[in-house]
Amino acid sequence: MGSWELSAGWPVLWEAATGALRTVLKMAVIVVPLMMAVELLRTFHVLDRLSRWMEPGARALGMSREAAFPLVAGTVLGISFGSGLIIDSFREGRITRRDSLLLTAFLAPCHAVFEDTLLFVPLGVNPFFLLGLRLATALVLTLTLAHFWRGPGETPAVTAPRRVTAQHEERDARPDAGRHSDRRAR
Amino acid sequence: MSDIGGALARGARKGLQTTAILARAIVPAYIAVSLLARTPVLDWIAAAAGPLLRWIGLPGEAALPLILGLFVNLYSAIGAMASLALTIKEATIVAIVLSMAHALVVETAVTSQIGVPVRFALAVRLGLAVALAVIVNAAWRL
């Protein structure tokens, strides 16, 4: 019990308070520009366009085309922030039950990729390592589940086209259209 | 052009609002943990969690940011991490665990709204968190 004394009460509290504020400032430096970028994305409907490019990607991951939008929204905005968009597409019946399970599998390791990754940078974490690991985990997990979960994951109400072959074709035919037009835009 | 200006202004306002929300989580967590570090309580927690956390290469103190991150949110966990002196490897492992599994109460509620069973979401997130932490801890030494 020897070393535990709060004798130097004020300096300790001061140190804690300034340390806390420094941490908040570091977060502000990340969060404010990030939110400005997100607002730009919204204003120019980049999410819509991005999700149209990601449709083949969603198919390759065993989801329907319609799942591309909640997929992109969750990956970029996060589960709580993007939840409105994700819940909407489910309620309106645009995505199937299989979609939402695969979507969760993908988003569990990999959501709010910009915010959640950048927030750890001031603590010394390498953002590329963290992001790469999250993305790789999401891809491996979703592809594995999509492979093993063909039949039973789908509700009887949903007409289930055999996605096994389509999946491979889609992956091979995945157009790089997005990347090209992006390059042109620069 | 006014579109861009408006978007940037809105973004800045939202960024500041978010920072205020973050501050409400980070400041109390940071101060609580740094005061706790002056008492034997942190040592007790560390001693209790140490044997478990050693498996993923973390010191016992890392239990605090992990608990805050899993149950409350990422931001309070970051406040706690900032007040502990973690090495880069330790900070990375905590970041990996918390990237996979955080704010479980809120986020699991969201995914259950789209028809995903809570058990499934929890199993995936916690399973991935532990598995990746074990792998990264083992691989880092190489």
pLDDT digits (tens, 9 = 90+) for A111-166: 888 888 888 888 889 999 999 999 999 999 999 988 887 654 444 334 444 444 44
Q: Mean per-residue pLDDT for B110-121?
A: 79
Q: Mean per-residue pLDDT for B96-101?
A: 88
Query: SS3 for A175?
Result: coil
| Cα(A92)–Cα(A163) distance, integer angstroms | 23
| Cα(A130)–Cα(A136) distance, integer angstroms | 10
Q: Quick check: is A129 in a domain?
A: yes
Give the range of the structural domain holding residue A83, as residue numbers without chain letter: 10-179
More confident position, A164 or B99: B99
- All residues of chain B having their beta carbon less than 8 Å from the beta carbon of residue A90 are 113-115
**What is the interface size between A and B, counted as CB pairs within 8 Å?**
176
Q: Quick check: is A164 in a domain?
A: yes
Q: Quick check: is A3 in a domain?
A: no
Residue A170's pLDDT is 39
The pLDDT tens digits of the residues spanning B63-82 come to 989 988 888 778 888 888 98
Q: Quick check: is A1 in a domain?
A: no
Place of tokens 């973690």: B86
Q: Mean per-residue pLDDT for A56-75?
A: 87
Q: Mean per-residue pLDDT for B8-29?
A: 84
- Residue A112's contacts (CB-CB under 8 Å, 6 or more residues apart) are A75, A76, A77, A78, A79, A81, A82
Q: Quick check: is A94 in a domain?
A: yes
Query: SS3 for B3?
Result: helix
Q: Quick check: is A186 in a domain?
A: no
Residue A79 DSSP one-character state: T
Q: What percent of chain A has pLDDT over 90?
A: 9
Q: Mean per-residue pLDDT for A20-49?
A: 84
Q: Quick check: is A81 in a domain?
A: yes
Query: SS3 for A34?
Result: helix
Q: How many domains does chain A have?
A: 1
- Residue A142's contacts (CB-CB under 8 Å, 6 or more residues apart) are A61, A62, A102, A105, A106
CA of B106: which chain A residue's CA is closest?
A: A80
CA A20 to chain centre: 28
CB A104 within 8 A of CB B111: yes
- All residues of chain B having their beta carbon less than 8 Å from the beta carbon of residue A97 are 115
